[in-house]
Amino acid sequence: MRKLKFRAYIRHLKVKCDIDRINFDKKEIGFAYNTYFSGESGYTFKFDEVDIAQFIGQKDKFGTEIFEGDIIRTEIKIDGNDTFEVKYEESVGMFVGKPHKKDGEAFTFSMMKPGLPRPQNIQIEIIGDIYNQ
C-alpha cells in the first residue's frame, strides 16, 4: 500500500508546507515544526486558505517526490511537448501530465510504470510548480 502524502500552498503567506494532519470535520489542515527554543509547535489553516496537493506516488530523476501542481520536464517530447503540469484527471481516475501553457495530448504516469506499454525510460525532472512560474 502506498503512503498518502499531502502538501499545502498557503495562499496569503505564499509558502508550501508538508501536511501532518487533515481534519475534515473542522475543514482544516495542520503541520508541525520544530523550534530551537520551544520544541515542537504547529499551525493550522482552514481549507479556504490553502491549496492541497497530493503526492502522486512517483519521484523525479533526482529522487524528489512529485505532487499535483508540479511542473515537470521530460527528456523526450510527447506530442511535441516536453513541459507538463501534474494534475489529477477525474475522467480517467489518475494523475496525468498536461502540456504546460500549450495545447497537446496529456500523458499518464502509468506510462512510466514497468511492464506497461510506454516510451522506454521516460526521465522527468521537476522544474517548478504552478505557484512559482
Q: Indicate whether 91 belongs to any domain.
A: yes
Task: For residues 31 and 12, state if they share a domain.
Answer: yes
Distance CA(63)–CA(125), nearest Å, equals 9
Return the pLDDT at 47. 97
Mean local confidence (pLDDT), 74-79: 79
Average pLDDT value over all residues in the chain: 82
Count: domains in the chain: 2
Return the pLDDT at 36. 56
| DSSP output for 34-48 | EETTTEEEEEEEEGG
Q: Indicate whether 1 belongs to any domain.
A: no
- For residue 27, the enclosing domain spans 6-50
**pLDDT class for 53, splitting at 50, 70, 90?**
very high
Mean local confidence (pLDDT), 70-98: 86
Task: For residues 73 and 117, state if they share a domain.
Answer: yes
Cell of 91: 475522467
pTM, to two decimals = 0.81
Return the pLDDT at 48. 97
> Where is pLDDT greater, at 12 or 110?
12
Task: For residues 113 and 74, state if they share a domain.
Answer: yes
Burial class (CB within 10 angstroms; exposed 0-12, middle 13-18, buried 19+) of 30: middle
Return the pLDDT at 3. 77
Closest CA to 69 of 3, 4, 9, 2: 9
Task: For residues 75 and 122, state if they share a domain.
Answer: yes
> Where is pLDDT greater, at 98 or 26?
26
